[in-house]
Structure 1
Amino acid sequence: MSKPFDLLRELSRFGEGTDINLNDAAIRPAFGLHVEQAIDRALKDPILLQGQRAEAMFEALVVSLGEVQLIKPEDGGRVFASEKMQPPDFRVVLQDGTNWLVEVKNVYKRNAFRQRRRLLTRDYRKSLDRYAAATGGTLKLAIFWARWSIWTLVDPEKLAPGGGDLTLDMMEALKVSELASLGDESLGMRAPLLLRLTMDSERTSPIAPDGTVHLTIGQAQMFSGAFEVSDRSDQQIAWTVMQYSDWETEEPRAVVDGDRLIALEFDCAPPELSHQGFETAGFLSRMFARYYADRTIENGEVVRIAAPAQPEWFGALRQKDGDGRMPLWRFTLEPNYEGQLIRG
């Protein structure tokens, strides 16, 4: 069992504020009441819940993409400084040793086509910049556009030099996003993806007059177009796309011969085909956001802050090419800051 460092630290802070020492019998019920009241306030604050969820999702996303040396929360603990400083949410160390300090923002606008918000005020930004300068990091801003389940990562100084207010819309953010530096990319593959579950003929009953059948699956196969996906890493990629990409999975189709159920097939494809030889399935970060929503949101409300990282999903993309691998197209979005000076 791990030692309760964080809990003891909070208990100590509570004792300082109430002048109750740690060995006083009164501290436990008083601290318990304090925690209960704080939890009640937090659970009634949807902005706080969504913000904390976005922070936890960003951390899990970076861990899942697996392309950085290190990520750690930066804004815990006290800061003693000669002037006002605000630690950003995370420190991220890239593979080349570059230090980024990342502030995470959650943006939700009901109108899907008006995704614009002031993300940093002048004073708040200056406090972040001071901390970044003092600790040798470059400030970045990770924005989760919740209405679209889209992540972007931008450099405030390149958008609004001089430390002023920063107001940004989603389309501007997409053009300059640096999320590829953390491992994000868009996937393309042949469509449709087909999951075929072939029945064990000896252990599957004939179809009864009322349509019921007792079945046992004998074989599971995955296809990308006409290509059978047999490599384990490719199967993981295809399965992730089927569950969380921009593609749609149809209701299962029964393959029947007389009164025998031969197989069940699940087709997954984009709503419209481009007929260019492959179809784009979307960005890894967006797939991860949909996975995260499945595990943290119910009926539009946050029910959990955190969900497990999934490094095995995207680790499959890092496997070296081999014989019999699925045809896969991978696109990296490079930031284009040219002509993107943003006024606060």
Structure 2
Amino acid sequence: MSIGIESLSVFEQFDSTNDQAVGLITDPIRRESVLNRLSAGMDESLAQEARLHGWRVQALFEAMATHLRHVSIVKQEDVGSYHFDDINGSVKPPDFRIVTDKREQLLVEVKNVAPKYKEKSQKIRASDLDQEKRYADLTSSRLLYAHYWSHINIWTLIDPAVLQREGRDYALDFPTAMKANELFILGDLLISLRPPITATFVVDGGQFLNGIAQATLTDWWMSSGDQVIRNELERTILWKFYSLHKPGWTTDCKVENDTMGRIREARLVQTPLESQVCDRGFAQVAWLSRIFSAAYNEATITSDGQVKKFRHQPEGWLSAIMAHDLGEIEFAGTRLRPSLGPAAR
């Protein structure tokens, strides 16, 4: 839809004279009134940090879902007008409609869990849940709740049946959400690689000045296990995996010097704990959803958590790994071993 057409939709929403007998819609005074109401609304929202983060997380979920393998359509559901038969009560559209590659109709309500609330159960008003379930029933869809636990960069997707009633609300804690997580139905994968992950840098004239290595980079490559990866896209992907925080993994720096004592080659080697390596020689790196969200966060929020923008188009390397299907696959010169989520085991 063009900006011009969308602007008419905004005009209609903020035109307080819509239901009154007034002059032409092109009246400059009427237009100014709409712009004033829009400006006041923006001032209100931009002053509320929680609202900004909630809006950004909704955009993050939409972007992530769009790139997950089993998602065919993602559409904002709670926009525009709608009409319903209220004989059985009110309805409330959830945030998004998703159609999977199996043609399953899903309705997803997205919730952002701010770091300061990480230890608390997340509350959902019973009235909201009832209205969203009624909407889902009327549209022959399945209702799900997506929570983004921002302090640990983890998404969960749960059926409301796992919610616990607490007075007038329903509650969800993180352990319950993880046990019931169904994000795999959208195509989320657990990436595993053969360790160690190694980044090798070949330099010219390298030396240390004031404790900092000074050199000209002439070549670099990545390795997973004993597999060397030089392809530009593939080594970028593996470098991103290397850069992720991986609990239990340790990093060792190995430097080789030439006969004059100058740095010739530097290797950064990441190794997991022995207990983290399975019988087949793989070690878990991260879920695709976490990889995507980490990259999205880097582009949309500052280091101190301020929102820079709401939307971001992922880079080519991220789109490449998000496009793969379930099952063991060859990629980036090594074996990536996707794994289903906890609820599928």
Structure-2 change in CA distance of 1:106 and 1:21 (3 Å): farther
Structure-2 change in CA distance of 1:320 and 1:295 (3 Å): same
Partner of 1:335: helix, strand, or coil? helix
Amino acid at match of 1:92: I
Partner of 2:310: helix, strand, or coil? coil
Structure-2 change in CA distance of 1:252 and 1:131 (3 Å): same
2:308 to 290, 298, 303: 303
Partner of 1:304: helix, strand, or coil? coil
1:82-138 alpha-carbon deviations (Å, 9 max, x no partner): 2221111111111111100111111125375x24121x2221111111211111211
Partner of 1:184: helix, strand, or coil? coil
Partner of 1:97: helix, strand, or coil? coil
Partner of 1:301: helix, strand, or coil? coil
For residues 321-332 of structure 1, what are the structure 2 equivalents within 5 Å? 321=329, 325-332=333-340
The equivalent of 1:284 in structure 2 is: 288
Structure-2 change in CA distance of 1:269 and 1:74 (3 Å): farther
Give the TM-score normalised by the residue count of structure 2: 0.82
* Structure-2 separation of matches of 1:108 and 1:9: 32
The equivalent of 1:340 in structure 2 is: none
Structure-2 change in CA distance of 1:197 and 1:291 (3 Å): same
The percentage of aligned residue pairs carrying the same residue is 25
1:280-337 alpha-carbon deviations (Å, 9 max, x no partner): 1121112222222212222122222222244223226779856994133322114279
* Structure-1 separation of matches of 2:122 and 2:209: 60
1:146 to 135, 147, 150: 150
* Structure-2 separation of matches of 1:209 and 1:104: 50
Structure-2 change in CA distance of 1:44 and 1:208 (3 Å): closer
* Structure-2 separation of matches of 1:37 and 1:6: 19
The equivalent of 1:333 in structure 2 is: 341
Q: Higher relative contact order by CA 8 Å / sep ≥ 6: 1 or 2?
A: 1
Partner of 2:322: helix, strand, or coil? helix
The equivalent of 2:54 in structure 1 is: 51
* Structure-1 separation of matches of 2:332 and 2:291: 25
Structure-2 change in CA distance of 1:195 and 1:36 (3 Å): same
CA contact (8 A) 1:185 1:330 kept: yes
Query: In the alignment, does 2:268 pair up with 1:266?
Result: yes
Amino acid at match of 2:59: A
Structure-2 change in CA distance of 1:287 and 1:323 (3 Å): closer
The equivalent of 1:93 in structure 2 is: 99
For residues 1-344 of structure 1, what are the structure 2 equivalents within 5 Å? 2-17=2-17, 21-83=24-86, 84-110=90-116, 112=118, 114-118=119-123, 120-157=124-161, 159=163, 165-199=169-203, 204-205=204-205, 207=207, 213=214, 215-217=216-218, 219-230=219-230, 234-246=234-246, 254-257=255-258, 258-270=260-272, 272-274=273-275, 276=277, 277-298=281-302, 299-309=304-314, 310-315=318-323, 321=329, 325-335=333-343
Partner of 1:173: helix, strand, or coil? helix
TM-aligned CA deviation for residue 178 of structure 1? 0.5
CA RMSD for the aligned pairs? 3.2
TM-aligned CA deviation for residue 72 of structure 1? 1.0
Unaligned regions of 5+ residues in structure 1, if any? 338-344
Structure-2 change in CA distance of 1:327 and 1:29 (3 Å): same
Unaligned regions of 5+ residues in structure 2, if any? none
* Structure-1 separation of matches of 2:108 and 2:158: 9
Query: Which one is further off, 69-78 or 283-292?
Result: 283-292
CA contact (8 A) 2:205 2:264 kept: no
